[in-house]
Structure 1
Amino acid sequence: MVAKDADGTPMWRCSGTLISPTVYLTAGHCTSGATTVEVWFTADLEAGFPGNGYPSTGEVAGTPYTHPQYNEAAFFVMDVGVVVLNAPVVAAAYGTLPDENALEALARVRGRQDQTFTAVGYGLQQANPVFVVAERIRMSASPRLVQINSGLTGAHSLLLSNNTATGGTCFGDSGGPNFVGTSLVIGGVTSFALNGNCAGTGGVFRLDRKVARDWVLSMM
């Protein structure tokens, strides 16, 4: 997706998931401050748009909405938004929300480091502040659960692995889904990184918490 201001000027790009024919789920920091949004579903952007990787006009436009409790100063606490599309998009399947508090079970399971997610997005493959590596070639990865219900994550986030061994997310993946295992259940949306190299661990905003889940369902 491309977020645009009131003048139609592109501001930033994010990723997301169709959860119904007219509702596109993403992060709150992707919708906050935007007036309109353009969304497209091209499988291979590199081939379709050589040179810049992303178009500024999508296949369908929509209106962005951000959770009413979103706070820019602490965006990661309620980092969820949706785009209501101007026209329905028919897909073979749609992402689904987890049951309320469904991810709590992961905190009680031994060997939780073996729990994998499927992270999807149109972000960078990696980022290097010296050489400015920016290859938009990775559309999915299989990060592993690192932390849940910790002092760092609180009750609202997960930390997943971001490294060359297990994959992960990077700039441009914000708002993209982190499916539980290989299912279509969206455990959370990509929210933040802990360093500028897109390495180590990445933060995911949980969608199984009632306050977030209920709002998304109300928008459907």
Structure 2
Amino acid sequence: MLMLTVTPAQAITYGRRDGNRHPNVGALVAEYVEPGQKDLLCSGTLISKRDFVTASHCTVFLPSVGVDPDEVWITFDPTFDENSPLIPATYHTNPRYGHDSADLADVAVVVTDRPVSGRTPARLPRLHLLDRLAADNGLHGQDFTAVGYGVQERQVGGGRPSFPDAMERFFAVSEFRALTKTWLRLSQNPATGEGGTCYGDSGGPNFIGAGADETDIVVAVTVTGDAVCRATNTDYRLDTPSARSFLGRFVELP
């Protein structure tokens, strides 16, 4: 999740272990901390047999730490460790990322070297899907499911507050809060039974619906939120003309 500075990571708060519930959600892996050491970088979602959508703030800094576009991997292992299967891939940062404060263009695509087998890709939303739902009052009370790897909710007591990092895929349910031209904002207040994202779930999916009503449509990717991960999950929409103009370079759009 992106806060004031870019600190790619993965996280779900007040959620549940995913197991094989979302097999098309994976993690971007790179040697960005130390050479030869493969670390989780961000979450993302398979949207075709070779295309994996994530956030541009997860990839834009990689050249500055010596990671070339073709020096990353994708894993779909529910728990990441040194034995996790890795698929070589190449990242593509959105060239418009960060150039317009009104639209950060915070979406990236990672293309695997070979087709991913045994996993059904998630679907992208149709143009202006969320706007149409909002116009029909269809977003009021609507749940969304976030998925990602890593740290969980903040732990307090017995020392400094900390965010445990399990390096495991989790999911959580958040409720609609607000919609702007580029952002989907979700409530993740644990006091009302909601969960959500934290440091960082960056690039991870937000599927429309939850439980029996959950769909395979990833309507937004996680980008930012509040500092203690108890209030708001802010996500970059994928149903806008801007997002679709970039994604359309890689996949056929609905």
TM-score by length of 2: 0.72
SS at match of 1:68: coil
Considering only aligned residues, what root-mean-square deviation do their CA atoms show, in Å?
A: 2.7
Asked if 1:204 corresponds to 2:231, the answer is no
Among the aligned pairs, what percent are the same residue?
34
Asked if 1:144 corresponds to 2:175, the answer is yes
Q: Determine which structure has the larger strand proportion and give its number.
A: 2
Question: Cα gap change, 1:127/1:2 in structure 2, threshold over 3 Å: closer, same or farther?
Answer: farther
**Moved runs in structure 1, 4+ residues, more than 6 A?**
none
SS at match of 1:112: coil
Asked if 1:173 corresponds to 2:173, the answer is no
8 Å contact 1:13–1:172 — kept in the other structure? no
8 Å contact 1:188–1:206 — kept in the other structure? yes
State the Cα distance separating 1:33 from its structure 2 match.
2.4
Unaligned runs of 5+ in 2: 1-27, 63-67
Matches of 1:75 and 1:2 in 2, distance apart? 30
8 Å contact 2:145–2:173 — kept in the other structure? yes
Asked if 1:60 corresponds to 2:87, the answer is yes
Match of 2:75 in 1: 40
SS at match of 1:14: strand
Matches of 2:169 and 2:39 in 1, distance apart? 22
Higher relative contact order at CA 8 Å, sep ≥6: structure 1 or structure 2?
Answer: 2
Asked if 1:120 corresponds to 2:147, the answer is yes
Match among 97, 100, 109 for residue 82 of structure 1: 109
State the Cα distance separating 1:121 from its structure 2 match.
0.6
Unaligned runs of 5+ in 1: 50-54, 150-154
Question: Cα gap change, 1:144/1:138 in structure 2, threshold over 3 Å: closer, same or farther?
Answer: farther
TM-score by length of 1: 0.82
8 Å contact 1:2–1:56 — kept in the other structure? no
8 Å contact 2:30–2:40 — kept in the other structure? yes
Tell me how many residue pairs correspond in the alignment. Answer: 206
Question: Cα gap change, 1:109/1:56 in structure 2, threshold over 3 Å: closer, same or farther?
Answer: farther
Asked if 1:133 corresponds to 2:154, the answer is no
